[in-house]
Structure 1
Amino acid sequence: MSHSSSDADVAWAAWQPGSTESGKPCPLAKFDPSAKPFSTGTKSQDKLVVEALATELDALQEVFFADKRFKLLILLQGTDAAGKDGTVRGVFGHMSPLGVHTVGWKAPTEAERAHDFLWRIHQQMPGAGEIMVFNRSHYEDVLVPVVNGWISPEQTQQRYRQINDFERMLCETGTIVLKFLLHISAEEQRERLQERIDDPTKHWKFSVDDLVVRKQWKEYQQAYEALLGATSTDWAPWTVVPANSKTHRNLMIATVLRDSLLKLKLRYPPAKPELTAVKVV
């Protein structure tokens, strides 16, 4: 049996850093990546719930598209092999492509670097009735440059403030922002990267750069803790998703998404009076 909406809200809140106005880093150690707070108890049953949620989300997305009162931005952020691609397939792959778009962010191009770091992001914002899913996001700009020392602490703090202001503007103009940090352990990442090396069908996912970045595990964890503390706001809070279990990861995100859409009290546009007497012959 799946969580009721109220139960899910309680479970969800436990995995949100909350509004951290002090800006102090939020320790990731307080979030167990192996936990399964939304699980029914068995993997097989969890998979069935995910399938049921997929059907429910597809129906809700149709009303969302027709309603046109809202826009929805979903951010999937996490280390290499955290499961961002798998989440896109497992949660959003069953939804109608009508009004659902996905962007996978890579390193900025030369043209993009000629502008401020949010310039390219703003161009991909959802329109009325649309759902936009980011695979990685503008938070890469307070991760990679920070870990590699490309920007100063003062510039990092400036980017945190700019991100918060940007997301506040989005929320104040009708965009719901859901931010998910897919949280896996170092051992889980090791196993997943090794699987990409051992399985020829997964070689396309692997890059030698992944091994370089893995050596910076500690530094990236610290950068994530800093951004959680600086950018989990009342208007756009972060949700840390324990993601060692791929099935539970999908279950948790699908449940949170379903409940977020239900709270909007979506509705179809009113009937058109001029169509009352129309007969198709």
Structure 2
Amino acid sequence: MGKKNDEGSRVRDALRITGELPDPGSAPVGPGKKPKALAKLGTASERLSALQEALYAEGVGGGERNVLLVLQGMDTSGKGGTVSHVLGLVNPMGVHYSGFKAPTAAERRHHYLWRIRKQLPVPGQIGVFDRSHYEDILVPRVSGLLSAEERRRRYSEINAFEKELTDGGTTVVKVFLHISPEEQLKRLKARLETPEKHWKYNPGDLEARSHWPAYQKAYADIFKKTSTDYAPWHVVPADHKWYRNWAVAELLIETLTELDPKFPQPDYDVDAELAKLKGVGVPA
């Protein structure tokens, strides 16, 4: 096991959900000001990139481990922005991104985990779920389409599913991007006032916003029932984009540092190959 990054360990410990959520505009651990957070994110880039390259190489060499980052949050909490600013720091060849919208008619003919399983990362990859299997509890619950008995069954199924993943070599990092209703309103307004952001706006977002208390209650229940030792939930205050990006980057860095991925050993004689190269000329 590799040596843990002290700051990363504090991030994981400080942001793990164990009770009441922090203020969406707070900075529970790490930099409390934007300039410092941006500077730290800049230095985090090299660490995250190096660790991801080692994990990818390990997978190419026959390793079985990977990481799955699950991002959940209310509309405008920054799931897409997190993917762009954090996963954009690493080689895209080692990243598998999946964004889950409302299931299609074809997908509804299967068990709700069917489409999730199809998008799981392979060995060596960092998988990213922009929304996830938890939407299959959240939306139908708030819409009144899921009974208490059915919710309990899905909690059990999801816990078993995530245990299966971790037993198979996947490290699951579940993150709730915690935004305030006040900040969400600002971001929705900005999308309407900025032509270049019109494509981001969905009139349905206002419908979801009208059920804000119900969604918060549903999330609280999810955290209580599905935060396990093998797949715990973490909360990242998301009112400040600079803090959100730094915190998620550090969560990934700490996770990868603990995994301590190794570059595979070559299956050839390095010295012999170097000797061959000495006699190789420039092609005519």
Tell me the CA shift for residue 99 of structure 1: 1.8
From 36, 41, 48, give the equivalent of 1:50: 41
User: Deviations for 1:147-174, whole angstroms, at most 9, x for unmatched residues?
Assistant: 0011111101100100000000000010
Residue 114 (structure 1) aligned with residue 109 (structure 2)? yes
Aligned pairs for 1:67-106 (under 5 A) are 67-68=58-59, 69=63, 70-106=65-101
Unaligned runs of 5+ in 2: none
8 Å CA contact 1:38–1:248 kept in 2: the answer is no
Residue 37 (structure 1) aligned with residue 37 (structure 2)? no
Q: 1: CA distance between counterparts of 2:31 and 2:221?
A: 33
Tell me the CA shift for residue 88 of structure 1: 0.5
- Secondary structure (helix, strand or coil) at the match of 1:138 reads coil
Residue in structure 2 matched with residue 63 of structure 1 by the alignment = 54
- The code of the aligned residue for 1:225 comes to A
Higher alpha-carbon Rg = 2
Tell me the CA shift for residue 177 of structure 1: 0.3
Aligned pairs for 1:171-190 (under 5 A) are 171-190=166-185
Aligned residues with identical type, % of pairs? 43
Tell me the CA shift for residue 41 of structure 1: 3.9
Aligned pairs for 1:140-219 (under 5 A) are 140-219=135-214
Q: 2: CA distance between counterparts of 1:274 and 1:8?
A: 38
TM-score, normalization by structure 2: 0.91
Residue 12 (structure 1) aligned with residue 7 (structure 2)? no
Q: 2: CA distance between counterparts of 1:64 and 1:7?
A: 21
User: Deviations for 1:15-52, whole angstroms, at most 9, x for unmatched residues?
Assistant: 2125xxxxxxx54xx32111113343431121121122
Q: 1: CA distance between counterparts of 2:58 and 2:168?
A: 16
8 Å CA contact 2:15–2:28 kept in 1: the answer is no
From 220, 226, 240, give the equivalent of 1:225: 220
Q: 1: CA distance between counterparts of 2:134 and 2:10?
A: 27
User: Deviations for 1:214-240, whole angstroms, at most 9, x for unmatched residues?
Assistant: 101011011100101010011000001
Q: 2: CA distance between counterparts of 1:208 and 1:273?
A: 59
Q: 2: CA distance between counterparts of 1:161 and 1:190?
A: 35
* 165-174 vs 97-106, which moves further: 97-106
Tell me the CA shift for residue 264 of structure 1: 1.2
Unaligned runs of 5+ in 1: 19-25
- The code of the aligned residue for 2:44 comes to L
